Amino acid sequence: MSTDVAGTPTQKGPPTDTVADLFGPLRQQLLDAATEFADGPNALAEIMTGMVDDVDRALREELEIFPVCHHSPASGLAMVRRLREKQPKVIYLELCEDLRPLLDELRNCRLPVALQAYAANLDGFPPQWGPLSVVAPITEASAEYQAISYALDTPGVELVLVDRSADHVFQWLPREPESKSDAADGDPDSPSEDAPKEDPANEEAALHGDAVGIEIGDLRPRFAELEEHLLHHGKVRHWSEWWDQYVEQPLAGADYDTYRQAMVLIGSLFRRLSPEDAARLARDEDRERYMWTRMREHLGISGVDPSECLYVCGAFHAASRVAEFGLSGSTDYEVSARSGTEWLYGLIPSSHSAIERQFGLAGGSVSIAGATWTKALTRSGLTPYQLEGQKGSRKRSKRTKALPAAPAAAPVADRLTGFLSKPPMLDGIDEEELLGWCVDIVRLARRNGYLSSTADAIAVFETSILLAGMRNRARPTPYDFQDAAVTCIEKDKVPGRRDVRRLCEILMGGDKIGQVGYEALPPLARDVYDRLAPLGLDLEKRTLQRALLDLTANPELVPCSDLLWVLRYLLPEGAFRPIMGARRLGERSTQESWDLAVGQNQRTIIELGYEGITVEQVLEQRLRRKVWAPNATASMALAAVEDSLLYLRNPRFTDELGDRAVELLAAERTVDDAPEVLRRIRRLLAHYRATQPQLPGWCEAFVKAGYAHYCTLLPMAFVDEHIGVRQVGAMLGFLFTLESLALALGCDHAQLELAVQQSHPEAPAKVALLWVARSQLGLLTLADLRARCDEMLGNPLVVPAFPQYLSGFVQALESVPTLAPFVVETMSKAFARLPDRVLLPWLPTLITTLRSQAGELVPVLVREAGRTFPGTLSAVDAWAPPWTGRAVPAKPAAAVAVAAGPVAELLVGHPATCDAVAELLGCDGEWRPVGGVPAGDEYREVSGLLAEHPATAEAVAGLLDPAVAG
């Protein structure tokens, strides 16, 4: 510790005069040091003496304060010793008070697990914060677990959680949108710099989801510069290492007074050096007020003697300076009421890496702390407290009798001076342990593909000791060992999946993953486990498990299959993955095979439990919520109906969803979803027709409502440029394909006709759609339609827009499948006749449009094309498109007589020229009769003109035949 105190930034100032007392000499010593080192005013002296004052105050407090730090084996050891000695009747613990009932379930779990408070229905919080989740992980090697185990398993001892409730955690957060992320009490800047950037065990590290983490005994410098300074001068790489070297080891064997004083001192140091404006400090002070108020309340009600109580809190809070501190502190603080949010509580599995990630600790530090704890226990011969029947840990030998209660508390002595002035009592080298590590790491490395041998074990051993010596340590810490192993074993490349650093972490205990025991699960999760039992799998395993279900041979597995499908629907992707088998309307597999990751997804299954009692209920709720959401649409409701049919056997509920779909459809003002609606209702109708004697009422209502709805919106949809062709096509599809049903249900065909007649689209694709609609209604013959297309192809002004018409025709296939031959014909003509500059740019568009919007229509087109076009290459030459025959215009019934006149007479009189020209051109024309119509009747204007100005005509005639002119 001396490094740390001496290394703080210093400023000079005259010593403040304080009451001479127990810590008087130390205070004076520090003041002297401050005067010597510093050259600025007051601040340093104030900090130095203030720290001693804080220690003094905490120790004088009538209610015994036990300062702890999270993941500190030293805290745990001191706690065990103190509990055995003091045997308190009441333990106050710095933990959300509303989590208390969960603690009794801890014994059913394999630690580490996290206590969770969860709220999905928010009341009084910004809705975008939801769902709210708070987790408090509990590990076995922690002081709080010792306190909890002692209190729960010793008769007559009461455990009281005194910290603010989960609700207050969020109430006290600033209301900026992004504030939730920095809310973690334990960690202001999570994930911190030294947290592993790429976590190798990502799955485990993500066990807490995005919950806000709370931790007992958070103790870490509050601003980055201080931490950096400490790390730099401590010559260590990360905070966990600093803590281990400068606090943990010196305190491991220390007596209780030294422990307590040193911890409060550190808490006070970090508190005094925390940024002043931090909202976080204000929050912490509020918490302290809260805790002291609660403790006073409890003492008042229960009447327990404060000397029989123990207050376990973070060292940071032990050095508190709020007015409410202490049993004699101010009592003004009013605990604010909770919001109306309904909180649910449960245990979720946690893991060391999840804890490290959540609280920004270095990778492996929690595991190393766990290993240190186990070792310290063996060495000290202490028997830790453990909950009766705690899962997943070694059975402790029969609980030793508690030590006799300590004699009347001896007056507190100043242990701090000694602790600060003496170099830390370092452990001697534990050769056995180090040798064990070296041998193990070499073995582990070999198994992971490294070419390591006994020589490496020796080198690692030697290097560890040398490194420790270089870093001022007599005993190599796990961190030194890790560095040594990397130096000696890691070569230029990592042969397997794990590098040596990771292997060291595994060696030190690896990532421990907790599991919530069956008894501690919420009813839903228990129900899931029960119902999956027939599969005969070990659901506790964290590996992926393959389940094979032969549903014909083992019909008793059908309920399992049903449940799996529901879980697949509810849980995140990949948790339950069908490898074989599908569930669609009208389709049931006889055999299924599943990849189940139940163990890995225990948290999500538990969190489902916050939503209901059974998965079916949760599914019902989710579906119901979905269709009643403000943004629900008819297609979403139809999807919900489909899901309900697939996963729930509850016709009444399905009908309810269907009714909602009708309501939604009738209320919709847009037709964006029309394609989806059409697809889904068709499928549902087909399903009902196949499985039930008659359609459910809502289906009929839906068709009726849909018919009326789309008829009404059709004219608008045709002209609105924001509505795509596809939507209009789908509307027409609905109207035409479901028309017979709609008419049978009492709809009026006239409505559709009117709607079509009122439609006046301008966009070419929609015009094409309208033509098809009209032809379907008999308002336009197919021949007319064809003629219009031909006309367009012949008109150079319209040709560029022709592809758009064609798109419209393709979309129309949805509603009028019989149009396929016509579409093929038109398309072929387009390919044949469109100029390249129009055709080529359009082709990609056509293909992508067909792919994305009309995938199901393409087979129809292709089939039709196959029918139309010749099948072999040789047939192509002889092939004439079927439509060309039809396209030849009918011969006029009789040749129209040509008007008589000078020109006609001239030509008839000298046919040789015309015949020769015709022959040259390859026409075998024939001469039409002349004189049928009196000249001038047909071309009155022309003949009038010629009659009035005959000179030109006569001159021409004269030129042609001087005889006539003459």
Residues in touch with another protein (CB under 8 A)? 3, 7, 232-233, 235, 237, 451, 453, 455-456, 459, 462-463, 466-467, 469-471, 483-484, 486-488, 490-493
Q: Residues with Cβ < 8 Å from 716, sequence gap 6 or more?
A: none
Which residues lie across from 134 on neighbouring strands? 117, 212
In the bound complex, what is the minimum distance in angstroms from residue 464's beta carbon to another protein? Answer: 9
| Minimum CB–partner distance for residue 203 and another protein (Å) | 26
CA–CA separation, 488 and 179 (whole Å): 45
Amino acid at 909: G
| Nearer CB in complex with another protein: 487/614 | 487
Residue placing its CB nearer to another protein in the complex, 322 or 465:
465
Q: Which is nearer to another protein, 482 or 561 (CB)?
A: 482
For residues 608 and 568, is the Cβ–Cβ distance under 8 A?
A: no
Q: How far is the CB of 245 from another protein (least distance, A)?
A: 14
Q: Least distance from C-beta 490 to another protein, angstroms?
A: 6
In whole angstroms, how close is the CB of 497 to another protein at the nearest point? 19
CB of 451 to another protein, least distance (A): 5
CA distances from 227 to 221, 274, 591 (A): 6, 11, 60
Rounded to whole angstroms, the Cα distance separating 729 from 735 reads: 10
Q: Which is nearer to another protein, 449 or 911 (CB)?
A: 449
Q: How far apart are CA 245 and CA 230, in angstroms?
A: 12
CA distances (Å), origin 244, targets 62, 264, 363, 426, 487: 31, 17, 14, 12, 22
Comparing CB distances to another protein, the nearer of 232 and 910 is 232
Kindly state the smallest distance separating residue 255's Cβ from another protein, in Å: 29
Locate 367 and state its tokens.
């595991």
Q: Which is nearer to another protein, 313 or 465 (CB)?
A: 465
**Which phi and psi angles does 727 have, rounded to 5°?**
-65, -45
Q: What is the DSSP letter of 449?
A: T
Q: Is 186 helix (H, G, I), strand (E, B) or coil?
A: coil
- Integer Cα distance of 417 and 690 in angstroms: 88
Closest CB 496 distance from another protein, rounded Å: 16
Cα separation, 336 vs 333, in Å, equals 9
- Extract the tokens encoding 497: 């999946």
To the nearest whole angstrom, how small is the minimum distance from the Cβ of residue 492 to another protein? 6
| Tokens representing residue 61 in the block | 């407090």
**7 vs 902 by CB, closer to another protein:** 7
How would you label 868-901 residue by residue, b for 16+ Cβ within 10 Å and e otherwise? beeeeeeeeeeeeeebeeeeeeeeeeeeeebbbb
CB of 487 to another protein, least distance (A): 4
Residue 49: alpha-carbon gap to chain centroid: 50
Number of Cβ within 10 Å of residue 579's Cβ equals 11
Q: In the complex with another protein, which residue's Cβ is closer, 237 or 886? A: 237
Minimum separation from the CB atom of position 251 to another protein (A): 22
For residues 487 and 593, which CB has a smaller minimum distance to another protein in the complex?
487
For 692, which DSSP code?
S
Q: Which is nearer to another protein, 455 or 533 (CB)?
A: 455
> Counting Cβ atoms within 10 Å, is residue 930 exposed (0-12), middle (13-18) or buried (19+)?
middle
Residue 271 CA to residue 317 CA, distance in Å, equals 9
Q: Which is nearer to another protein, 67 or 364 (CB)?
A: 364
Handedness of CA 304, 310, 312, 318 (dihedral sign): positive
Q: Give 68 or 488: the residue with its C-beta nearer to another protein.
A: 488
Q: How far is the CB of 229 from another protein (least distance, A)?
A: 10
